[in-house]
Structure formats: C-alpha cells, structure tokens
Chains A and B, each alone.
Chain A
Amino acid sequence: MKKILNEPAAYVDEMLEGLVAAHPEFYARPHPRVIARPGGAVKDKVGIVTGGGSGHLPVFTGYVGPGLLDACAIGDVFSSASAEQIADAMKAADGGAGVLRLYGNYGGDVMNFDMAGETLEVEEDFESTSVVLTDDVASGPPEEAAKRRGVAGMVYAFKMAGAAADRGGDLAAVTATAQKAADACRSLGIALTPCTIPQSGKPTFEIDDADMEMGMGIHGEPGIWRAKLKKADEIADEIWERLQADRPINKGDRVSVLVNSLGATPPEELYILYRRFAKHLADCGASVVMPLVGRYAASMEMAGATLTVCQLDAELEELLKAPASCAFWQVS
C-alpha cells in the first residue's frame, strides 16, 4: 500500500479535520462523524441528510452546502455510518420542517438509515422520509430497478432535492421531487484498476494490467464483462447503447450528462469520453444542459469513469440550474 496517511485507523477522522479546517465557510463538525452546515440547521426548511462510507469524495460529505445537503453521516472507508451517527446528522439538519434521508442503495446503509429514522420516530416523534438512489444500470435488470445501487447519479439528486428544499417545499414535496430526480438518472461505469482500503491495505479486487471491466461497482462489485481495454470511442459507444436500451433518450429531450472520474482517471480522458458521448446525444436530437465533467463521485484512487444521463423536465432543469455551493462544486 502506497498512500499518504499517518495511521490507517485515523484516516477518516484526519480527513474530516482537514476538510473542516480548509473550508470552514461550508463545513462544521458537530459530532466526530457528522458534517453539517456551519450556521446550523436552516429554520423552517426541510433538512436533507445523506451518508455512507468514506472514500468517495466529493460524495457524500462534500455536497453539504447551500442549495445542496444539510448534513452527512460519515462511515469508515467503504463502510456504512452507524444508525446513531445518522440520527445525529438528522438532528443537525432539523430546522423544524422534517428531514429527508437521501442516500445510495447499499444494504448496510439502508438498514442503518431506516434504523436511525425509526429510533428518532420512537424517541422524539421526529418526522422523516427517505429516497434511495439506484442509478447504476449494471447492478440489476430494468424489472428490478429498485434493487440497483446508487453511483454518480446521486449528485443530481442531491442538487435537485437541495434546490427543492431551498425554494420552500414541504417534506412531502421535497421527497417527491427527490424521487423524481432519482428516477431521472441512469449511470454506467467502467473500471481499469482497483483501489486500496487503508485499513485492510489490500486492493478491493484484482484485474489484469491490460483489462477493463464494464459495469463494475464503486466498491469493486462485479460488473457485466471483463476483457482487454477498448478504445475510448468504443467504451462511450457501448455505454451509450446500454443506457439507451435501459431507457431511451429521444429527439427533443433535454438531458444533463455527468462524465465522472472514479479517482485516478484524469479530466483529459473524461473529455475524450464526453466528446463521443455528446456526438451520440446530438445525433439523436437531444439537447445537453449543463454537462458536468470531473471528479464528482470517486472510489479512492480507482482508475475508471462513470457516465450518467439525467433526463430533465422543466422542474428538474430549473432545480439543476438553481444556485448552489460547496467546496467542490459551485452553480451560480
């Protein structure tokens, strides 16, 4: 293992200390494993809470900020936060209008978010809802779409739900909008290399130097196929075809596209993918709104990328373009 760290066991806590020290205008740390907005909960606004394992920055913690999330519970690298940490994050986000739990569909996270919601309900009559993000088409067939995992598409859901809460919607309205945003996203990724979890010191999977894997999950979950690395255009073509087969984009549609680095893949290569992907969108007569290219949802130092398409209606487009800011992303 070759990583810049002190002790593996201190990796997450020291990362959070640095994050808060660097960006105090965006992040406060009311509990050791909770990041929230520095001014506290916004009164009378629906609070939006996420959480999950570390190792994915800017996901999840980074997206706490105005127009985005209110608080985040942080687990160890690739491990769920505990139900207590999630409950603490929910309390930190509670401005009196209820809290939406918005997070990726992973077994441990689902259990702990549900448990946190139930605990607060029993103890304090605390009102909360949840929307689970399931944009990764490689992780299940369309008829089992609800079982799919959440990957980079969650960034759109954070953005749109955050904007919906900002404009003053009540908990039911913000929850419905978040679900619509989640349903609008489809993602598919490729992996070229594994990453190493500091506390285990071992790569999450093994892959031959010459190979790539189509559809691999962000923690190394098995994908669709593994074979010799293809050219960028062939990769973009296959992802386009698979996403089109899952839910087609048609002439006249308005979409946003996120080409995301899983960690080690540089922006240069993301733009090479985007170039080809944008051609497919133009060829089918769709308009691209606010494309995002960069590192938005990573898997430590994994080399690889995900492509996400978010199909917009008028409401989602307005929410996407609404002002938002965090240390990793500004929309103005």
Chain B
Amino acid sequence: MSGGLDRAALVAGAKAVAARMEACGDEINEADAKLGDGDLGVTMTRGMGAIVAEADALPADVGMALLACSKCFTRISGSSFGTLVATGLMAMAKACKGREEVPWAEASALLAAACEAMRKRGKAELGAKTVLDSLAAMAAAMEGKDAPGELAAAARDAAGAALEEFRGRQNKLGRARMYGEKSKGLDDPGMLVALRVAEGLAPPADG
C-alpha cells in the first residue's frame, strides 16, 4: 500500500474522531466521574472541536499540522489529560516535521513515540491502568501494517482488548489511584477515550 498520512488524511481523521467524541462525551464524563473530576469527555470534545475549527488553516507540513493540533489541547484546558494528549501529538509532530506525507508504515512507531513521551511527562509506568496501556497495545497491534483501514481496525481491537483486560485491576496512578480497591471493575476513563478515538477512525461493526 502506497501513500501515507498527509494534511487531507489528518483533517479527515480529526473530523471523524471529533464526531466520535461528540457522540461519546457524556459516556466518558460518566466514567471519569467515578474515578476523577468527571470532565474528561468535555476536555476531549473541546480539544477535538478546537482542531476541527482550525482544520482549514492547518499547514501541509504534517509535523507543523500536528504541532497546531497539540496546541489546541494546551489552549482549551489545563487538565492533565489534555496536556498528555498535547504531549503525544507534539512527539508525533517532531517525528513528522518537514514532511508533507508520512508513510503509513510509520504509524505504529509514531504512536509508540507518543506513548513514550506521555509516559515521561506523566512520570508513569506501563501497567498502572492508564491510557498508556491502551496506546502501547495499539502500537504493538499496528506494527508491520501499512494500510490505513487495517491500521485503524487493529488499533481499535487492541484498545478494546486492553480495556477488557485492565477493567478488573486497580488504578495505580493519578487521581484514580486514591480510589484503591474501589477502582477494580471500573473502566479507566483514559483507556475508554483511547477506544472511542480508535472507533472514530474504524467504526465498530455494531456501532
């Protein structure tokens, strides 16, 4: 498969994810209310909304376009999750800087780079039941693939499996950590966001 991530693909992807966030914002807020502030859906909806509002003005340089997307998330909120999303987008921006098309075969490495930058910024480790566990699983599932549809489907399935796998465990980071044993059985709101974002790019068969 030739081709890659360019400005048009980025804009189309952002619009699809923004629409999915609009549809799932309340659900994400409710999941977050059980383990945190209850405003994570608002953060995601506003952040993606800000990107879509700027979509027409995004530059052709994919790196600079991703940098603009990153800044949308730093503008709309001071929330930690918003800053983590901005951090991930910034890591991808650095890797793409100066290119107008980034081969799809690099998608897995881009997501892995985002995950690592977010891990450092959040001073976190994998396995603590956070969005990082979803992103790591998604990046692993995307490895070796270079077709956008296949990549998105693999990411979606991996995010779903990670959410299932971690649901019964205890949250070990951030505000959710304060809930201790009570967090067992609850979906981590950040992991839920990862799944819903991936579903924006690869709509589920039943959804």
Name A's B-contacting residues (CB within 8 A).
75-76, 79-85, 87, 107-108, 111-112, 114-116, 118-119, 122-123
Contact = CB atoms under 8 A, between A and B. Distances in A.
Interface string B59-99: 00000000100110011111110111011001001100000
Contacts of B77: 82
Given A83-B86, A107-B80, A115-B87, A122 B67 contact: yes
A119 B90 contact: yes
Interface residues of B, number: 21
Residue among B71, B82, B83, B94 with max Cβ neighbours from chain A (10 Å): B83
B94 A83 contact: no
Nearest to B86: A115
B75 A111 contact: no
9 contacts: A80-B80, A82-B75, A82-B76, A82-B83, A83-B74, A107-B174, A108-B78, A112-B83, A118-B90
B122 interface: yes
B121 interface: yes
Contact of B75 (A79, A84, A107, A118): A84
B78 A83 contact: yes
A108 B74 contact: no
Interface string B90-116: 100110000000000000000000000
Nearest to A75: B78
Interface of B: 67, 70-71, 74-80, 82-84, 86-87, 90, 93-94, 121-122, 174
B205 to A, nearest CB: 37
B121 A111 contact: yes
Given A83-B78, A118-B90, A119-B70, 16 more contacts: A76-B78, A79-B78, A82-B75, A82-B77, A83-B86, A84-B71, A87-B74, A107-B80, A108-B78, A108-B79, A108-B80, A111-B83, A115-B87, A115-B121, A116-B74, A122-B67
B122 A119 contact: no
B75 A122 contact: no
Return the 6 tightest CB-CB contacts between A and B, nearest first.
Answer: A83-B74, A82-B78, A80-B78, A84-B74, A84-B75, A111-B83
Contacts of A108: 78-80, 83
A149 to B, nearest CB: 15
